[in-house]
């Protein structure tokens, strides 16, 4: 198949790359030998069309320091590209974002799959002004109605959208590298957060508040906050507000990948995901694959952690609750057993299998029948 994927985040992007981009690269590395794949990405300073990791990259839009303007420019130019070049492709994958109004359903006759990796809803009003938040909420509910084919990452997210029974829906999880399941498990030395630097969405404000309390009971245990994102300067500013005796125990190595990321997970005591909204964090699955117990917020999208026995949860948005969970995990004699349960559960979710499920669904949509 000739596949066009509208991917609004890519490696090297000034605004960072998260699970949306990481998922696409993992899947297409496994499919590129069988299909002609083009990634239509958001332009950023220094971005150049060409081949990266064996995948064709095209960059459209305009370079702005303002993310909203960047996304709107990408939406306009991506839609224009599809209108002009749709005949070059058999199927189009669009990553859904209410902030990127492409309206591809009205532009192309090619089969389009809308990949939905999350739902934000009223939480937009905690991040943006009322006008912009209202527009995002409206678009989040409106746009999917016009599409027929969907990929969701988990069933909890499907329930948040009012879709009719006539829609073709596949639930295709995120995954892990099978190599992570082979590494030896060690107890570790520090607590780890791994993910996008998004203060509100990822709950980093809660994490800093909780660690300040945790540090009083366990002053020798460090916190490592690894990742990158548009709130990196805000995070540094919040970090500087902490007392020096707390701040000196917090490390922020920035974006990590490959062996460095694996080593960072392997040498942690446990991994925390304090998100206010989430889908299925790839980093959470990777931590489970490395045999690490998790502490997660009690949102439905993290229910798999509790059901699998891979960790514990705290009350979303509550720093006191998180601090207590951190203390309890430190004192637990079952940390190793908890981590092993997670590792056992996640072994059925490798990227090799995920890529095959993804390919199978695209064929079903493209050829109009089940494969």
What pLDDT shows up at residue 370?
A: 43
d(CA 328, CA 332): 6
**C-beta of residue 281 within 8 angstroms of C-beta of residue 264:** no
Note whether 2-175+350-367 and 178-346 share their fold. yes
What pLDDT shows up at residue 124?
A: 86
Tens digits of per-residue pLDDT, 129-162?
899 989 999 999 889 999 999 999 988 888 888 8
Question: Which pairs count as long-range contacts for 120-124, CB under 8 Å and 24+ apart, including other chains?
Answer: 120/201, 120/277, 121/160, 121/277, 123/200, 123/201, 123/276, 123/277
Distances (CA, A) of 141 to 68, 133, 170, 257: 19, 13, 19, 34
What homologous superfamily is domain 178-346 in, according to CATH? Glycogen Phosphorylase B; (3.40.50.2000)
What pLDDT shows up at residue 31?
A: 97
The residues spanned by each domain of the chain are 2-175+350-367, 178-346
168-171: strand order across its sheet: 50-52, 55-60, 36-42, 2-7, 91-95, 112-116, 149-152, 168-171
What pLDDT shows up at residue 41?
A: 94
d(CA 28, CA 40): 13
Residue spans of the chain under pLDDT 50: 369-371
Q: Please count the other Cβ atoms lying within 10 Å of the Cβ belonging to residue 68.
A: 11
Residues sharing a CB contact under 8 Å with residue 325, sequence separation 6 or more, in sequence order:
295, 312, 313, 314
What pLDDT shows up at residue 51?
A: 92
Tens digits of per-residue pLDDT, 345-367?
999 999 999 999 999 999 999 98
What pLDDT shows up at residue 125?
A: 87
CATH 3.40.50.2000 fits 2-175+350-367, yes or no: yes
Specify the DSSP class assigned to residue 191.
E
Q: Cα 166 to chain center, whole Å?
A: 28
What pLDDT shows up at residue 68?
A: 84
């Amino acid at each position: 198949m000739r596949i066009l994927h509208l991917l609004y985040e890519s490696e090297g992007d000034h605004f960072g790359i998260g699970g949306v981009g990481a998922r696409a690269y993992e899947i297409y590395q496994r499919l590129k030998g069988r299909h002609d794949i083009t990634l239509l990405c958001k332009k950023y300073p220094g971005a150049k069309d060409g081949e990266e990791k064996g995948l064709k990259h095209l960059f459209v839009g305009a370079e702005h320091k303002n993310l909203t303007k960047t996304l709107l420019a990408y939406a306009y130019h991506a839609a224009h590209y599809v209108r002009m070049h749709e005949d070059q492709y058999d199927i189009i994958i669009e990553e859904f974002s209410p902030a990127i109004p492409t309206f591809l359903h009205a532009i192309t006759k090619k089969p389009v799959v809308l990949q939905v990796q999350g739902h934000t809803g009223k939480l937009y009003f905690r991040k943006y002004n009322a006008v912009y938040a209202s527009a995002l909420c409206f678009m989040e509910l409106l746009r999917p109605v016009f599409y027929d084919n969907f990929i969701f990452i988990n069933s909890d997210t499907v329930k948040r959208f009012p879709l009719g029974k006539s829609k073709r829906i596949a639930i295709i999880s995120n995954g892990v590298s099978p190599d992570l399941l082979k590494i030896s498990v060690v107890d570790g030395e520090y607590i780890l957060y791994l993910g996008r630097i998004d203060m509100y969405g990822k709950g980093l404000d809660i994490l800093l508040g909780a660690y300040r309390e945790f540090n009083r009971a366990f002053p020798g245990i460090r916190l490592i906050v690894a990742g990158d994102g548009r709130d990196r300067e805000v995070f540094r500013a919040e970090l500087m507000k902490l007392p020096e005796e707390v701040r000196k125990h917090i490390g922020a190595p920035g974006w990590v990948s490959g062996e460095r990321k694996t080593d960072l997970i392997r040498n942690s005591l446990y991994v925390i995901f304090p998100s206010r909204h989430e889908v299925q964090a790839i980093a959470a699955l990777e931590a489970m694959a490395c045999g690490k117990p998790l502490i997660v917020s009690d949102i439905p999208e993290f229910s798999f952690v509790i059901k699998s026995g891979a960790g514990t949860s705290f009350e979303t948005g509550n720093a006191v609750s998180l601090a207590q969970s951190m203390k309890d995990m430190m004192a637990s004699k079952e940390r190793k057993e908890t981590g092993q349960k997670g590792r056992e559960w996640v072994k059925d979710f490798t990227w090799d299998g995920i890529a095959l499920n993804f390919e199978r669904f695209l064929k079903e949509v493209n050829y109009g029948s089940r494969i």
